[in-house]
Amino acid sequence: MSARPAASATPASAVVSASDSDPCCDAPLPVLGRDVTVPLVTGGEVTYAALDYAASAPALQRVWDDVAAYAPYYGSVHRGAGYLSQLSTDLFENSRATVHEFLDCRDGDQVVFTRSTTDSLNLLAAVLPADCEVFVFETEHHASLLPWSDARVTYLNAPRTPEEAVRTLEQALAHRDPSPGSSSWGDPIGPALVCVTGASNVTGEVWPVRELAAAAHAHGARIVLDAAQLAPHHPVSVRELDVDWVAFSGHKLYAPFGSGVLAGRADWLQDAEPYLAGGGASRKVTRRADGGVDVEWHTTAARHEAGSPNVIGVYSIASACKALGEAGFDALVAREQHLIAKVREGLAEVPEVRVLSLFGDDSPRVGVISFVVEGWNSSHFAAALSAEYGIGVRDGLFCAHPLVRTLLGSDPQDVGECGAPEAEPGEKSLNAIRVSFGAGTPDEHVERFVAAVRELVREGAKWTYHTEDGRCVPAV
């Protein structure tokens, strides 16, 4: 590597294509861990099939190489006179510009770096006007369902079609209660915020974001998009969707280094007190005659980025954004739809499998599919996939408890050798299995998964399982 890496461009040595790195890999963007082998309880080892992208996607090889190339030049961001500090500052701010471009933000939109989608939405909740009312569907991930406890919140029932989602929101907004205090907008009804997911972390179904944004704006409300599951699979344009803010996590975007993004309109962010008080957020601090201090806060994104920024996490997000953009979302989406079709067609051939859906089979979706298997507890089934086939999926309620409970119904049956983690009495089977994949998933992984589901249902598990420390595990 040269004496000084270009802060605004990825080092050429870090660009790795599938053909350069792994001739046997049919995934368009190679990821770390694609050659990892794991032991099977039945004996031997097998290459691990990582099919839990919706929880945390593996790091892109490109991201890992970019971070490794930068690591020797790591320095403190902002305010440092040293060469490495200045270089790191350039890298950090150019990463902000990369994310701004990746999201197709408007002029004047701010990109604030956070720890995750959860952190981003809690930040937005902290800067809401005092009289703001929030509207959120019960179908949201807990990251976007729960942060609004200090606001007036209206929880909307799960819609069964995209059109019903839009109608439900329009009706709720049309019947807003008058604000109990004076409105900061000069509107007697007061400000409002709609929070909606772009793609469900349970069903993978894509929500009608543009139509929901239009409904929100028609009633004087703003809208924030939880793009945690959408951004890794599909282009997200703030301009085209006409959303006011978008939030996502690096660890779901193939950049697992502890950073997230909140991007969008600057006014509420600038008008509120900093999310965290400390160095970096403050522009000027002076002592008062009475012994206290006066603080002048930044009006830029730094206002909500107190402390030493996670430059490696931020750079990894920018690297992932560049990799996805260079690969081309048209090609990535087309291939993912190919994998989705393989999984759905394979599951459809097993009568005991029921795929969970709000909007129906024809709804657009990303590579996230949840299902239950008749006669099996989902935790037991997931444990067998791992222990006997080397396939990693997720089971449970997926931090979207109201949605999964709605999809499964309220009368679970106690079946299987072990129950759901931390399940309430009588709800041992109230859980589901989720398989999720993306740009780093080879065809063989989904083919092995479909074959394993078919074999487990037909022949049963080859091993005995029990619950230990809240998890279903193979018996020793």
Supply the DSSP symbol for 197. Answer: E
Residues contacting 410, CB < 8 A, separation 6+: none
Supply the DSSP symbol for 425. Answer: T
195 catalytically annotated: no
Structure tokens belonging to residue 32: 């770390």
Pair 314, 258: CB distance under 8 Å: no
Angle at 55 between CA 318 and CA 62, to 5 degrees: 30
* CA 179 – CA 242 distance, rounded (Å): 25
The one catalytic residue in 24, 195, 399, 472 is 399
Pair 192, 173: CB distance under 8 Å: yes
User: Left if phi > 0, otherwise alpha if psi is -120 to 50, otherwise beta: which for 360?
Assistant: left
Structure tokens belonging to residue 88: 């790191």
| Dihedral Cα 149, 301, 246, 339, nearest 10 deg | -120
Pair 141, 132: CB distance under 8 Å: no
Which of 212, 199, 227 has its CA nearest to residue 171? 212
Which of 64, 53, 61, 67 has its CA nearest to residue 34? 61
Residue type, 191: P
Range 341-348, long-range pairs (CB < 8 A, 24+ positions): 342/443, 342/446, 342/447, 342/450, 343/369, 343/435, 343/446, 343/449, 343/450, 344/369, 346/446, 346/449, 346/450, 346/451, 346/453, 346/454, 347/371, 347/450, 347/453
Active site residues: 399
